[in-house]
Amino acid sequence: MVLIPLTHSLSKTQFTTPHHLLKTTSTRSATRFRHHLHHRHKQVSVPLSPGSDYTLSFTLGSPSSSTISLYLDTGSDLVWLPCSPFECILCESKTPPLSPPLNLSSSATAVPCKSSACSAAHSSLHSSDLCAIARCPLDSIEMSECNSFPCPPFYYAYGDGSLIGRLYKDSLTLPNSLSVQNFTFGCSHTTLGEPVGVAGFGFGRLSLPAQLSSVSPQLGNRFSYCLVSHSFDSNRVRRPSPLILGRYEDKENQFGNELVEFVYTGMLSNPKHPYFYSVGLEGISVGKRNIPAPENLKRVDRRGSGGMVVDSGTTFTMLPASLYDSVVTAFDHRVSRFYKRANTVEETTGLS
């Protein structure tokens, strides 16, 4: 098991008021939801922004290494970072990278066009096609002798930005000194409206957990994280949230004097978004009242519609209007006898 601290990005920025922060995160949650809903079979996420995301750090390269800080994102499956020289188009109002653009170390090598990693970065395009794009001669393609030809640049689209990058391999070292040789990552010299790097934790062979499990089987391709509650006051000291790679094999664990058995929820397979973590929603309880969820939220159909996506980059849970209205009505019924609705706050934050 490996423990890595996650840092909330609110500590790296200042918002005018808590209402401003809530407005920003609620708008962004809705944006991510819309893009998850309307894009099929494409690696599409949306920008990660301070105030609503968590970051992790590690070192990359040898013998000279650089400390890299990236945003954790369970909605994508690639680790990519800005590399020097770096240009971000239309980024005047955007948050700068968490770390200076990376200077590739002498140990970094380009991923060849014939590799499965190259195919994965190009939405499973066949390696022969990729090597042809890389200008590998036909006879070499037929003989699978294109290792000296690098993987062509890949394109990633985001909610209001995009990037072009190349795949490289280098050594990665986690805070507990676990080292991973030949770790595959994307290196981007040019982005559009997207200046920050991402550590993809989604399904897929290029995600950080998948690559760690291939060289460290004891981690078992598993991870978990606990996002510690915090104040919206950016001046307060915060405890880091733990990210755990791997897990204890015990089904029970000790919390204080109480022995607690873990409860597990199975993931749903989603052909529309195979790299997302989807779960079924049975219902929501408000006090003693249970509000059943619509049937389409309980399962994913053959077209990939339905279910709920677990997304580290979305602050607020997004619900269909009918279910949302039922929850709001039930909640309002329980608390309206004791509290008045804060209409002004609702108007300034976009929340209700």
* H or E element, residue 154: strand 154-157
313, 345 in Cβ contact below 8 A? no
DSSP-assigned letters across all residues of 41-83: SS-B-----TTS-EEEEEEE-SSS-EEEEEEEETT---EEEEE
243, 223 in Cβ contact below 8 A? yes
The helix/strand/coil state of 32 is: helix
33, 278 in Cβ contact below 8 A? no
Residue ranges of alpha helices (H) inside 145-299 are: 208-215
Residue 334's identity, in one-letter code, is R
Q: Cα separation of 84 and 81, whole Å?
A: 10
Q: Which of 53, 129, 311, 325 is catalytic?
A: 311
The dihedral sign for the CA sequence 81, 83, 87, 91: positive
Q: Cα separation of 231 and 237, whole Å?
A: 9
Closest CA to 180 of 205, 216, 146, 144: 216
**CA-atom Rg of the chain in angstroms:** 22
| Main-chain dihedrals φ then ψ at residue 181, nearest 5 degrees | -85, 150
Q: Cα separation of 62 and 197, whole Å?
A: 20
Structure tokens at 96: 């700068």
Structure tokens at 16: 């005018």
For this structure, is 332 an active site residue?
Answer: no
For this structure, is 311 an active site residue?
Answer: yes
Q: CA end-to-end span of the chain, whole Å?
A: 41
Q: Which of 73, 160, 170, 332 is catalytic?
A: 73
Q: Cα separation of 341 and 352, whole Å?
A: 9
**Residues with catalytic annotation?**
73, 311
